[in-house]
Every structure is written in C-alpha cells, then in structure tokens.
Amino acid sequence: MLERSHIQSTGFRNTGPDSARTGFEFRIRQANYRSSRLSLIEGVDITVDGILYPAEHNLFRLRDKTYSQADMAAATDARLYVGEYFTVVVPRSGGLEPGVHLVASAIRYRHPYFPPEFQPVVVRDERHATIIMR
C-alpha cells in the first residue's frame, strides 16, 4: 500500500555493490489525481540534507524500464497510473551514509488541459527517510 506522502519510506536505499556505491534511489507515488503519460513529467529535482540533485542527472524507473529525462520526454506511450510509484535513481559516488535523511522532491508536471502560461505545475514534498545498512 502506498503512503500519503509522495515520497515513500520503502525503497529508500543505496545503489551499487557495498564496496562501490554509485548513488541512491527512492520511490515517489503518482502525485496527480489521475493517470498521466510519462512524457508529461518534465523532471524531478531531489534535495537530500540540503544538497540539490537536479532532474537532468537523475534516472527514472517505471516498472522494469529505466529512463533518462530525455527518454521520458519521448515516452509518449508509457503511462503512470494512479496508485503506482516510480523510482528516482540519483547518481552520487559513495551513496548516502546509513541513517535518517531529510528528502525533498519537486516534480514538474505538464497538464495538457492547462494553459501554457501555467505550465509546468511543480508538486513539492518533503519527509525524513532512513537508509539502513545491509
């Protein structure tokens, strides 16, 4: 079951082998009230403990496929449904230290039915999440 917060507490972990961490990842639930095409998400900026990780450098995994920001823009057939989450993969040499971190997201959505001058809509969320040692 997904949590109310867009940033989910499950799935927050380091990536890569223990001896050579390549970054970290976490899950974000669909923040829109209806499903949307993946191409309508312009990016997700991530901030962890005050350090910004811009969307241009992050990868996005939906189900079993991983997208760069450019790939997402071209993914007009991929849909993100209500009740689903996608995983944001953030490159960071060494990953994050185990423990509690303040994680924030800024998701940039385009809505085809909003006038262009109101685009994109930025949906923000913030929460504490914990990386445990494995």
State the pLDDT at residue 28: 92
Q: What is the pTM of this model?
A: 0.88
Percent of the chain with pLDDT over 90: 61
**Domain spans in the chain, listed from the N-terminal domain onward:** 13-131
Residue pair 43/108 in contact (Cβ under 8 Å)? The answer is yes
Q: Omega before 120 cis (within 30°)? A: yes
Above 90 in pLDDT, residue 83?
A: no
The model's confidence at residue 132, banded by pLDDT at 50, 70 and 90, is confident
State the pLDDT at residue 1: 67
The predicted-structure confidence for 90-131, as pLDDT tens digits, reads as follows: 999 999 999 999 999 999 988 888 888 888 989 999 999 999
Closest CA to 37 of 69, 81, 4, 67: 81
